[in-house]
Amino acid sequence: MKRLIAAGLCAGLILAGCAPQTAEPPKPAHEEKPTGESIQFDDLLQTTKIVMTTKAGSDLPKTWKFEGDEAKAKANSLVPVLKEGAALPAGEGRLVQSTVPMVSFILDVGTTKASINVYQDRYEFQGNWYQMENAPERTYGAINKLEK
């Protein structure tokens, strides 16, 4: 009798949609990207918004926000600097991950957000690491040289 009740309850839950789901849960809109496609440096040129934050302990701790044409102009200055970085083997860039980034960028590219975390001699873009000497000054400088 107990088995019959348990089987009935299980069948009821399955029919009601309460059974364990094997499919992947839906992703938020900003994370959706067709399979096999990822953001590249040139995609950043289509940005509609940039948020740049400098480390709290730096000379100039601040958060800047740029939108529209201003964001595109900033991205046009930043992308060539980022392309100068030399790709690091997987895992090698993570040596500094325990430290706080000197500069962080969040860029809105369509419905996707791209993040760039800049450390002293390297930066991380979409999970890939790149070597670049004086990375904070070079990336921050590319954005702020247009402010003059």
Q: In 55-100, where do the E strands start and end?
A: 63-67, 86-87
Q: β-strand 63-67 against 112-118: which pairing, if any? A: unpaired
| 129 vs 123: CA distance, rounded Å | 6
User: Could you tell me the two tokens for 84?
Assistant: 């100068």
Give the whole-number percent of the chain exceeding pLDDT 70.
Answer: 65
Q: What is the pLDDT of residues 101-126, one digit of tens each?
A: 888 999 999 899 999 999 888 999 98
Is the four-CA dihedral 34, 36, 39, 45 of positive or negative sign?
A: negative
Q: Specify the fold of 26-147.
A: Dna Ligase; domain 1 (3.30.1490)
pTM (2 decimals)?
Answer: 0.68
Tell me the pLDDT band of 135, cut-offs 50, 70 and 90.
confident
Q: Specify the DSSP class assigned to residue 33.
A: -
Residue boundaries of the structural domains of the chain: 26-147
Considering just the CA atoms, what is the radius of gyration of the chain in Å? Answer: 22
Residue 41 has pLDDT above 60, yes or no: yes
Confidence category of residue 34, pLDDT binned at 50, 70, 90:
very low
